[in-house]
Amino acid sequence: MSKEENLTKGCILISRSLLYSDIWFKPAEYWKIFTHILARVNHSGNKLYQRGENFFNFSEEKIPHVSKNQIYDFLRWAKHPKIAILTTRKTTRGIVVKVNNYNIYQDLANYKFQDKLQHSSNTAPTQLQNNSNTIIKECKNVKNTTTLHSEISEIFLSDLKNWHGEYKNVRLDEVQYSKLLTFTLSEEALSLIIEDLSGKIESGKEDRWNENLPNAHFERLKAYWKYRRLYPQKFNATAGKNNNEEIRANDSNKYKI
């Protein structure tokens, strides 16, 4: 297909936050299936389906080198409340798939934040915080604010705070998060140490993020991961959860910054 023919097919937008998203760490087929769905849903609504949704019959509609079981595994994962990138509803002939937040991520105007966000991720977290407040203020001052603008504000407010972990108490910027991911080699391992720190912050055993010490959580997690590497026997996967927690509590002073 020529370049001219390619351009007649339209386009979809992919956020750079993909590199930090859950799907990036799943099997490659997941991304292929999601891209297929993203390219097939309606760019503009019609009488049958809204913008961002369309009808699919995966029994007949084949995705090259992807099995039907892989498609259904992906759909179950994508609909899970903790992921929630898709919603579906059954019909007599197949399913209707809706891409959640399609209106936000498939509108190029919403990426006007990109330059400021990209610049702030390469500077100190204190500067990121200042930039965040400015961007949020600008978003709130948009003329003729609509529900869509409100949704955008909430999403970017969440992104700019850069909270990580189940308890939402650990603060890292994207550069710090990606560096820690390189150290730990897997999102699962990084999630474990983040949630451990988050739990200690929640219980008051560790300090919350402080703008005067913007790198505290990053350094704390690095020290903890180093401790895990030096003493892997204390974090044996076969040990019971309660036993692991007791060991961590007893040894907390050894790896505390």
Q: Are residues 180 and 239 in the same domain?
A: yes
Q: CA 82, CA 255: separation in Å to the nearest integer?
A: 31
Judge whether 201 and 169 are in contact, CB under 8 Å: yes
Distance of CA 247 to the CA centre of its chain: 31
Based on the fold, state whether residues 126 and 178 are members of the same structural domain: no
Domain of 58 in residue numbering reads as 3-101
Write the burial class of residue 224 (CB in 10 Å: 0-12 exposed, 13-18 middle, 19+ buried). buried
- CB contact set of 134 (below 8 Å; sequence gap of 6+): 116
Same domain membership, residue 125 and residue 93: no
- What would the two tokens of residue 17 be? 């936050």
d(CA 176, CA 195): 16
Tens of pLDDT along the chain (257 residues) come to 677 777 888 899 998 878 878 898 899 999 999 999 999 999 988 889 999 999 999 999 999 999 999 999 999 999 998 888 999 999 999 999 999 989 888 988 877 655 554 554 444 444 444 444 444 444 444 444 445 445 544 544 444 456 776 667 888 877 788 888 877 777 778 888 888 888 888 888 888 877 777 888 888 888 888 888 888 777 765 444 444 444 444 444 444 43
Both 7 and 92 in one domain: the answer is yes
Residue 34, domain CATH: 1.10.10
116 in the same domain as 78: no
Number of compact structural domains in the chain:
3
State the pLDDT at residue 128.
43
Residue finishing a domain among 161, 185, 201 = 161
- Calculate the CA 106 to chain-centre distance: 17
Same domain, 52 and 119: no
Q: Are 171 and 209 in contact (CB under 8 A)?
A: yes
Regarding whether 239 and 157 lie in a shared domain, the answer is no
